[in-house]
A = this chain, B = another copy of it.
Amino acid sequence: MSVALREDEITLALIKSLKEGKLTEFQEILDELQPYDMAIQYRHLPDKHRNKFLLYLSIRQLTELMQELPKIEQIDILQKLGVEKSSKVLDRMDNDDLALLLADLEPERIEELLSQINQDDSKFVQSTMTYPPETAGRLMNNRYVWIPRHYTIRDAIDKIRHFAEIAEYLNYLYIVDEDKKLLGVVSYKDLILGNLEDKIEEVMYKRVVKADVLMDQEDVAQIISRYDFVTLPIVEADNTLAGIITVDDVIDVVMQEANEDIEKLSASGKSIDFDTPAWTAAYRRLPWLILLLFIGLFSGSIISRFENTLQTVVALTFFMPLIAGMTGNTGTQSLSVVVRGLASQKLDFKQTIKLIIRELWVGIIIGVICSILILLIAYVWQGNLVLGIVVGGSLLMTLIIGTLAGTIIPLLLYRFNIDPAVASGPLITTINDILSLLIYFGLATLFISQLM
């Protein structure tokens, strides 16, 4: 019935069924909604209807709803549900979502919530929370199907049928030994295509692609996207199967890492989105701006050392924004090429040298072209060939140096295991600003007698 309805029509139908207390009609509408759509409906609903909405949902539906809502609403729902129902919901939630829900709560509240769910899940969630943030261990869940090595394909299919509801994806089964060490993997396709009496051990794939619990989440994302997997097994250092990471979480990681790179490259401050309050946003943006203020002062103090040169040839001031701006920009260009490249590709020493030489050539090419252009323009505009040569010559040098600085600094940081994107705002800008002003005014002071 609801197939052809628009979102707002569904909302109206839901409210009607809630008002009239018609549970069957309500469930008929919900049956055709995806969890994400159900959550949208819940958020559209006026407050007064929400309690009844929750009352009408099954535990499965409540769990699905929870997993699509922001943390603050999740906690609100848990309170509305009461201990008994909320423990059932927590019990069914994916463990990675559960860990996320608990991450920022106070210890007593965590204990209280964990005491409501079954012991296995509670232990699992507690163990994932011991891993450092942004590692595989934090991201994994335990909704996978594992089987012992002596199973036949028939046994495996039986077990799958049994666990189909709790497993997040059924694409792979993991084979473990008595100590839960990971031995192999079979895909669901293999089971479908094999004979029911075949031993799993004979059809399983032994060279399992897996990741360590401590692996950085960005590297996990790279593995999953390279191999086109739907799930990836995560193991402890001793090869014990600890959990799986699923492809849907990887998409979130890829988005998050890209956003972090952009935040750092544009020095825009951590995690500001459309809902961040003004005070918080200002507070997060200020550190960079104040740093830049002092960098600007430092540049100013360099300029002040050339006060005499400037007083003699005021026209030098006209080209200051151009030279500083161009140098800063070419540095940022190189920086973003390096940062994004490193996000999807590792570099060995030979490749690093090759990249630096490539960027050196880029710097020379754009330096020569831009400086010839500005030499001509400066000459025509100010009618002073020496000024043209000073401006053009400075630009040539600063563009080459700026390009190299934007390349070498993030590469050095990367070698020393510091996130290269950190180099962005402050480091590259400072170095390029200071170098460009020193070169420009230095050259101008050298030619001061011809410039007048």
Contact = CB atoms under 8 A, between A and B. Distances in A.
A325 B430 CA distance: 11
A265 interface: yes
Copies in the complex: 2
Contacts of A373: 290, 293
14 contacts: A3-B207, A164-B189, A171-B171, A188-B188, A225-B255, A259-B340, A262-B262, A265-B336, A266-B333, A267-B333, A269-B333, A281-B362, A286-B366, A296-B325
A272 B337 contact: yes
B326 A292 contact: yes
**Of listed A36, A281, A288, residue having the most chain B CB within 10 A:** A281
Interface stretch (A46-54, A100-108, A129-137, A298-306): A298-306
A319 B347 CA distance: 41
Interface in A215-264: 221, 224-228, 230, 247-248, 250-252, 254-255, 258-259, 261-263
Interface residues of A, number: 117
A365 interface: yes
A425 interface: yes
A285 interface: yes
Nearest to A191: B164
A330 interface: yes
Given A285-B333, A362-B282, A274 B165 contact: no
Nearest to A33: B207
Given A36-B226, A295-B325, A317 B318 contact: no
A151 interface: no
Q: Chain A binding site: helix, strand, loop or mixed by DSSP?
A: helix
Contact of A365 (B169, B188, B278, B330): B278
Contact of A344 (B209, B255, B299, B317): B255
A315 B301 CA distance: 10
Contacts of A370: 286, 289-290, 293
Q: Nearest 6 pairs between A and B by C-beta?
A: A296-B322, A258-B258, A278-B361, A300-B318, A282-B365, A266-B336
B335 A293 contact: no
